[in-house]
A and B are shown apart, each in its own frame.
Chain A
């Protein structure tokens, strides 16, 4: 699990790579908490999230609550599935771009 950071004028682009599961949410939270205070706008790139479980989802919900200006971008299929299951896309309010191999369910 890694978190890649690109910063431009207080705009932070954070990319989460790998799993967001109970096994590594603690670690991820500790890394993300630093960005919360420093960034004007926090953009989280979810394109490389391979797996997300309830703990990972909860981490995103927490980010949404904490960050004044949170943007989730490039949702991976795993994230989209969970958002769809729980009908959370509207809550996060970020546009979700569907990939070409989107399967209709």
Chain B
């Protein structure tokens, strides 16, 4: 098509002019419906566009403009009355033609996007139903008796403004799983008006391969309803697992979303809303779609590259949301962000004072709990109301007080730019530092302590990870290496990732080194993850030559020790030749947490609420308890479990299920899940973490203690340690009890 360069320029210019003419003509018609000249102008414009588009092989444009042209032809011959509704649709058609041409010119020989196609179909349906002509249908094409067919044609002749476009692709097992697509469509019909429906069976196999119990059905539905996107999605809720559902909003909806976005005020706290939240709030996305997109993002992040793709791109790619809406939302987000930055005024405060406030709030939380206890004991219903209100305020004060100490990690991150630049020059490597998630906040004290380990990890990435430009080019990678610093919040923790796209690590080499240095024995079976984590053992380095930057095998063990001091973990993953990612997980704060109180054998324990997945009743028959290996069957999932009573108390005192009902608290840390068996659940509890004395520092499974309202002490469980204990195969490491 490049030969046509000059001609194409003329074409674009010409169509632009023609479309402008058409618009003018339509606007004149709005005032004077009988202006013959304008009708002719509009018709000619469409006709010419159709003709010239055909010349350049823009078939999609031809197809669409043909439909519009035939309606205009009718108007011209007086077969169809022009009125306001029709004009506004024609104006939309004009816009659509413009975007079609633009798309076709920039994406040579490519299929239209579904959005464009859907808009086209929707417009044509509106147009034809208004003008009273027959529907062009791609599926239906037979010499049917019109008499009977007309009974079934769309109930037209009504004013149609704007329609949803829904595509349903049922999966093969839908019918077998008891899903009847017809019943959903039936129900959809009751919730609104199905303007047009296409039944498609593109995968219907020939004769013998056809399995009548497999579902091959797909539907395209043009649907008119006042429902919101989420409500439409809810109609298909039960089919979700067996059906790919796309719901494309009508044009007016998109406009509405854009307006809502514009009007939406940032909330009073000046918090920056997440993109997903924003779009759900205005109704442009359903919760499910956000979850799916996030999962997809996670998947891409794990599978393809270490660098996560922006959520907005994924949403548009999956057609969950429309490009202009996402763009507007991002713009809005950026605006809020800029504003918050611009408006920030700082007061310098002695951090000791902050510490004091947080301590006081901690005490306040405890007294609040004590008061609630008393109120409950004496059944003072009128006081209870006040107490509940006060408790809410206290928890808000607690959150705000903790936020006082929160700082964005971005500042720490950007300090590394200099290091990357300098080290890059020194080593003759071209390295780019990419920073994402800089706005993620965490406790100031944690930030200070994370600086050194991060510096170390980055130096490692620069020195060991990224290869020299020549090597990189030879390995088919861009000469410039990338180090990616990323941070995000995940279940009460902050996750910091240092990723490079360098040489990666060879797990065999590490294992060999570790064997040679006696860190592991030859008969130990280690998972890939465990092998990589050997890097954090003291004295292990795979770099043959040490230099002044890194490579002496000291450091990684220090990194781990520093992070563990902050009650965090560090993990390393690597693909040889592709790069290395180090993931650090840290608790957000060190002072107060939302806890969940449980009781077993008369002792109360606190589990950090953020780590709890769910609580279920432990029923011996239902869960197929394997009491030797400590596994249960949680809805088909193998879940290791741990009896808190067994772990913390003498076994001999424990008598097997003495009549009472036990509960299972499922806790999660990172990817690992474990069930903790307890006697009683007491519910949520604001927990002020009090450190245990030095005597108890060696305790496994306990991370601190708290004072309850009645003055008793409850131990805070170190879920991470318990999980590690529970997932380890039993028998090998005996029963290291914490007495």
Task: Identify the A interface with B (CB < 8 A).
Answer: 22, 25-26, 28-29, 33, 36, 53-55, 57-59, 61-62, 65-66, 82-96, 98
The 8 closest A-B pairs by CB, nearest first: A93-B142, A25-B212, A90-B140, A89-B152, A93-B144, A29-B212, A54-B181, A54-B182
Chain A residue with the shortest CB-CB distance to B154: A87
Which of A33, A54, A82, A95 is within 8 Å of B175, CB to CB?
Answer: A54
Contact (Cβ within 8 A) B212 A26: yes
Given the interface pairs A33-B207, A58-B201, the reply to whether A89 lies near B213 with Cβ below 8 Å is no
Bound form: Cα–Cα A65–B202 in Å? 11
Distance in Å: Cβ of B439 to nearest Cβ of chain A: 49
Name the residue among A55, A65, A82 with the largest chain B CB count within 10 angstroms. A55
Q: Is the CB of B213 within 8 A of A90?
A: no
Chain B residues with CB under 8 A of A94: 144
B148 sits at the interface (CB 8 A): yes
Instruction: Tell me whether A87 and B196 are in contact in the complex, defined as CB-CB below 8 angstroms, given that A65-B204, A66-B207, A98-B151 are known contacts.
Output: yes
Contact A53 B182 (CB under 8 A): yes
* A86 to B175 alpha-carbon distance, docked (Å): 18
Nearest B residue to A26, CB-CB: B212
* A-B residue pairs in contact (CB < 8 Å), sample of 9: A29-B210, A33-B208, A54-B181, A54-B217, A58-B204, A61-B204, A62-B210, A86-B197, A86-B199
CB-nearest residue of chain A relative to B137?
A90
The residue from B185, B213, B216 contacting A22, defined by CB atoms under 8 A apart: B213
Whether B216 pairs with A58 at a CB distance below 8 angstroms is: yes
> Please, how many angstroms separate the alpha-carbon atoms of A61 and B182 in the complex?
14
- CA separation between A90 and B197, bound complex, in Å? 12
Q: Is the pair A95, B145 in contact by a Cβ cutoff of 8 Å?
A: yes
B441 CB to closest chain A CB, in angstroms?
51
Give the distance in Å from the alpha carbon of A76 to the alpha carbon of B185 in the complex: 20
A26, A55, A89: the one within 8 Å of B149 (CB): A89
Contacts of B147 in A (CB 8 A): 95
Contacts of B137 in A (CB 8 A): 90
Q: Does B215 contact A (CB under 8 A)?
A: yes
Please indicate the chain B residues that have their CB under 8 angstroms from the CB of A92 in the complex: 142
Q: A57-B217, A61-B201, A96-B151 are in contact. List 14 more A-B contacts (CB 8 A).
A: A26-B213, A28-B212, A55-B213, A55-B215, A58-B217, A61-B199, A84-B152, A86-B199, A87-B140, A87-B154, A89-B149, A91-B142, A93-B143, A96-B148
For B185, the chain A residues whose CB sits under 8 A away are 85-86
- Rounded to whole Å, the gap between the CB of A88 and the closest CB of chain B is 6
Closest Cβ–Cβ distance, residue A89 to chain B (whole Å): 4
**What is the CA–CA distance of A37 and B218 in the complex, to the nearest angstrom?**
28
What residues of A have a CB within 8 angstroms of the CB of B148 in the complex?
Answer: 89, 95-96
Q: State how many angstroms separate the Cβ of B218 from the closest Cβ of chain A.
A: 11
| Choice from B176, B189, B212 contacting A85 with Cβ under 8 Å | B189
